[in-house]
Amino acid sequence: MLPFANLTNDPGQQYFADGVTEDLTTDLSRIAGMFVIARNTAFTYRDKPIDAKQIGRELGVRYALEGSVQRSGNQLRITAQLIDAETGGHLWAERFDGDTSDLFALQNEITGRIAAALSLELVSAEAIRPTEHPEVLDYIFRALAAYNKGPGSDTYAEAVSLYEHALALDPRSVEALAGLAGSLAARVMLGFSDYRAVDLERADGLIAQAFAISPRSPPTHFAKAIWLKSAGAVYGGHSRI
């Protein structure tokens, strides 16, 4: 999320462009699974030539959102565009026009609309992104199917095995990390583990890896909840958090 440029001749209007940037950064950070660079870091790129590929390399991001704010009397125009930081290609662009009689309401409306549009656009972009190991998703789906068969020693053993196959192909798959951790913790909680401490320790490590990659991942938070409940039972209410 790059600072929006102020295209108004009045430099005093920079505050509004900065406000749009800050609010949009907040809105985007609420989208599950999305990692957004902190505002202070992004603002170091203000008034500098934008090279999406370079920014992607420097910040470790996959997409760059840039835009501008232009004001004429009571009329306001905001443009935004989403760029693939790997290829430099444009994925999405939109223009928003409005009245400035209520700046806060207009700013909230614009940032909300952009965040909603980007959420859908990013999902579409990720859906068509080629993956080195497309069979990873197949293993994850099969593991979920095994997990959903219901509690049982064989059920969890099957799910664990399938998640391990997925991780062997893609060690950074958050879904596989969280799924394996949840399966290990669940079989401890339900009494189907022969090595409870070992399973819990491994699950704890997998959860830490998943959080390091995607701190807002819902599956990982779910796995952590299972782990806490299981650890509480195993360690007599003194779980290691």
**11 CB contacts (<8 Å, ≥6 apart)?**
none
Mean pLDDT for back-to-back runs of 10 residues, the chain (241 residues):
87 81 77 72 81 85 87 85 87 84 73 74 67 77 82 91 94 92 94 92 96 84 92 64 39
φ and ψ of 236, to 5 deg: 65, 40
Would you say residue 156 lies in a domain?
Answer: yes
pLDDT in tens, 81-132: 888 888 888 888 888 888 877 767 777 777 777 777 777 776 667 666 666 6
Look up the domain containing 59 and give its range.
Answer: 5-128
pTM assigned to the model: 0.55
Residue 148 sits in a domain whose CATH number is 1.25.40.10
Would you say residue 240 lies in a domain?
Answer: no
Residues 35 and 88 in one domain: yes
Residues 154 and 107 in one domain: no
The single-letter DSSP state of residue 86 is T
Write down the pLDDT at residue 31: 65
Amino acid at 192: F
- Give me 73's structure tokens: 């009397």
Residues 9 and 108 in one domain: yes
Which of 109, 113, 111 lies closest to 20, judged by CA? Answer: 111
Residue 74 sits in a domain whose CATH number is 3.40.50.10610
φ and ψ of 95, to 5 deg: -120, 135
Would you say residue 31 lies in a domain?
Answer: yes
Residues 215 and 124 in one domain: no
Would you say residue 239 lies in a domain?
Answer: no
Residues 106 and 74 in one domain: yes
In the chain, the number of structural domains is 2
Last residue of a domain, one of 70, 102, 128: 128
